Structure 1
Amino acid sequence: MILDHLAVAGESLADAVAHVEDALGVRMGAGGQHARYGTHNRLIGLDDGLYLEAIAIDPDATPPTYSRWFDLDRFTGAARLANWICRTSNLQAALDGIAQDAGVPVKMERGDLRWLMAVPETGILPMQGAFPAVLQWQVPIPPGERLASSGCRLAHLDVAHPEASSLAASLGLQDTRVRFVAGAFALQATFDTPHGRRVLS
């Protein structure tokens, strides 16, 4: 698995977008709708093939009869960095090798994008969301390599959780930008931007 992107959630998409733009000093680009879960997003490209997503429930979409992904049904409060997402070339094999219940593969699409996403039945990722969502792109070029760079580069992502060491061992992620920290659950990303070093949490 490798790091694919980060997700900022909000009670509304406008809240999530404003949180990103205020923190990083860059404007977010277009996104789209996810019909399966009744959500919508906007994106910005980062250096190194990563990207950042602002996501929220789409008030104009038909609500699903099942739980939404990213635990958005229960999301309240200020917009914040809520999830991190990894990708793999074989989602089922990756899930088979993970000790946690990270979900089952779900077919997803948005515009010309196609991917498989591991989504728990409850929509709640393990370890309060400290555990990453895992996906497998089914397109030749993933979004992080399509999007124009915003001039922002991820310096490091701190994933804090009381069981941070076991989380790190479970994932076996070989990425020095991702740092596992013992403590209360929190996600905090530090970026080098055109305006200097900025922190998004």
Structure 2
Amino acid sequence: MILDHLAVAGQTLQEAVAHTEEALGIPLGPGGRHARYGTYNRLIGLEDGLYLEAIAIDPDARPEEQPRWFNLDRFEGPARLSNWILRSGDLEAEKHLLPPHAQRHVSMQRGDLRWLMTVPADGLLPFDNLFPAVLQWQAEPPAGKLPQSGCRLTRLVLSHPEAAELQTALDRILNDPRLKVEAGEPALMAEFATPHGPRVLR
């Protein structure tokens, strides 16, 4: 599996967008709505085939299914980097490598984009939502079609009290030198090279 994108959540989409733009010094592009979970987003392309999304509950939508993905029903506090998402070439064949609680997957659609994605029944991914969601695109990945930011991810740091167990679970599915797992309170932090110099997104 490989890294596909990062997600910044907020109690409102405006808060998630503002937090991202302030941290990286770049404007986000347009996004869309996810009818299944009643959420919406805005997107920006990163280098190396990745992208970044700001996401929140859409107050004008009624979800087709709850709990929502990314644990958004229980999201509180300021906007922050909340999730990271991996890409699988064959999710059905590879999902046995994931923790049992993270193996359930659903079919998603937004406009002409279609994909499969792991979403636990309770919306909460393992390790306090720090374990990555995994998707399989059923069309060309969208990163290359997005507005480009000139930003490149240089390091992604996961902090968790069960760092050793989290590292073991990740070693089964990912080998990415940008990833670092350390002991501490549950948190995500990403470092970027940007047109404005090094920036940090928490």
Q: In 2, distance between residues paired with 1:39 and 1:57?
A: 4
1:74-85 to 2 correspondences below 5 Å: 74-85=74-85
1:100-139 to 2 correspondences below 5 Å: 100-139=100-139
| CA positional deviation for 1:65 | 4.8
Q: In 2, distance between residues paired with 1:166 and 1:17?
A: 32
| CA positional deviation for 1:100 | 4.1
Superimposed CA distance per residue, residues 145-197 of structure 1 (whole angstroms, 9 cap, x where no aligned partner)? 22232010001000111222222222221100111112111100001111110
| CA positional deviation for 1:91 | 1.0
Q: In 2, distance between residues paired with 1:195 and 1:100?
A: 42
The answer on whether the counterparts of 2:29 and 2:147 sit within 8 Å (CA) in structure 1 is: no
My pick for the range that moved more, 94-103 or 35-44, is 94-103
Aligned to 1:28: 28
Superimposed CA distance per residue, residues 3-45 of structure 1 (whole angstroms, 9 cap, x where no aligned partner)? 1000000000000000000000000000000000000000010
My pick for the range that moved more, 91-100 or 81-90, is 91-100
| CA positional deviation for 1:66 | 2.1
The answer on whether the counterparts of 1:9 and 1:55 sit within 8 Å (CA) in structure 2 is: yes
Q: In 2, distance between residues paired with 1:164 and 1:93?
A: 27
My pick for the range that moved more, 178-187 or 9-18, is 178-187
Alignment pair present for 1:159 and 2:158: yes
The number of equivalent residue pairs is 200
Aligned to 2:179: 178
The answer on whether the counterparts of 2:6 and 2:53 sit within 8 Å (CA) in structure 1 is: yes
| CA positional deviation for 1:95 | 1.6
| CA positional deviation for 1:63 | 3.4
Aligned to 1:41: 41
My pick for the range that moved more, 99-108 or 37-46, is 99-108
Aligned to 1:96: 96
| CA positional deviation for 1:129 | 1.1
Q: In 1, distance between residues paired with 2:63 and 2:96?
A: 31
The answer on whether the counterparts of 2:35 and 2:63 sit within 8 Å (CA) in structure 1 is: no
